[in-house]
Every structure is written in structure tokens, then in C-alpha cells.
Amino acid sequence: MKFATEYLWFNTSQKREYLNITDAVEQIVQKSGVQEGMVLVSAMHITASVYVNDAEDGLIADIDEWLEKLAPFNINYRHHRTGETNGDAHLKSLLMHHEVIVPITGGRLDLGPWQQIYYAEFDGRRRKRVVVKVMGV
């Protein structure tokens, strides 16, 4: 069994941003030499998410709008009593989850025809990271 771990670093220019990281994850998988297994892709911050979906701008805008309706910015979140102002970002992360596991077959990501891996940032403009852990043979 082989294991490989790498980190992707981001410093987004916007507070909320959605980055397609499929190619970067694919490169890590190929570099690992794993032919059959899985890759875990996990946001290492509690105000970010990793998810799999379609790489279509309209859908990304719909996701962002949906999240803002479900977890809107609100200065009255109890979390803000700590001096933070990112309570909504924590809630958005819970809705989208912080990690995905993607199968590896024949040394490549085994995604469906429209599936892409995304990093979603909900409290950006500062340095954040994702761990990519490849496991298999």
C-alpha cells in the first residue's frame, strides 16, 4: 500500500470564492504512482469546503446564492461575540462539508463525466490550505 500527502495553498481575493482544483489533485495522484485506491481531499479550515459537482458558472452562482439564503451574513450570530465576524462562513462550511473521497482507477481520478473537485472559500482573503492524501497500490 502506498501513501502520499501534499498540500494545496490558497489566498483568495474575495471573501467567498469557488476554485476548481481537479487538475491539481489529478497531478498529485499521478505523481504518487498509485494505480488503484482513493484520494482524500480535505479543507483544513472550518470556514471552507471541498465538494464535487459540475464546473458550470451558473451552477456555482446558484450554489453561492443558495448558501447565502440558508446561512446569510448576520452580525447577530453568537459566534461574533468572540470578536469574529464569520459566523455565516462556519455555517456554509457545514452545509457543503469539508472533504471528499474520490476513487482512483488506472492511476487517474475516477470521476463522472461532469464531476469536478472544488475548493469553496467562505472567509477568504487570507492564506488557507487543503490536504490531499492519496492511498492505494
Percent of all residues in the chain with a pLDDT value above 90, rounded to a whole number:
99
Tens-digit pLDDT profile for residues 48-58:
999 999 999 99
Owner of C-alpha cell 481520478: 109
Q: Single out the residue of 92, 110, 121 nearest to residue 9, CA to CA.
A: 121
- Match 467562505 to its residue by C-alpha cell: 122
| pTM score of the predicted model | 0.95
Question: Residues near 77 by Cβ (< 8 Å), separated by ≥ 6?
Answer: 87, 88
Which pLDDT belongs to residue 51?
98
Number of domains in the chain: 1
> What are the tens digits of pLDDT across the range 18-38?
999 999 999 999 999 999 999
Domain with 63 in it: 2-136
Q: What average pLDDT values come out for the chain (137 residues) when binned by 10 residues?
A: 97 96 98 98 97 97 98 93 94 97 98 97 95 98
Question: ∠62-110-130 over CA atoms, to 5°?
Answer: 60
CATH code of the domain in which 85 resides: 2.60.120.460
Mean pLDDT of the chain: 97
| Per-residue pLDDT at 88 | 96
pLDDT for position 137:
98
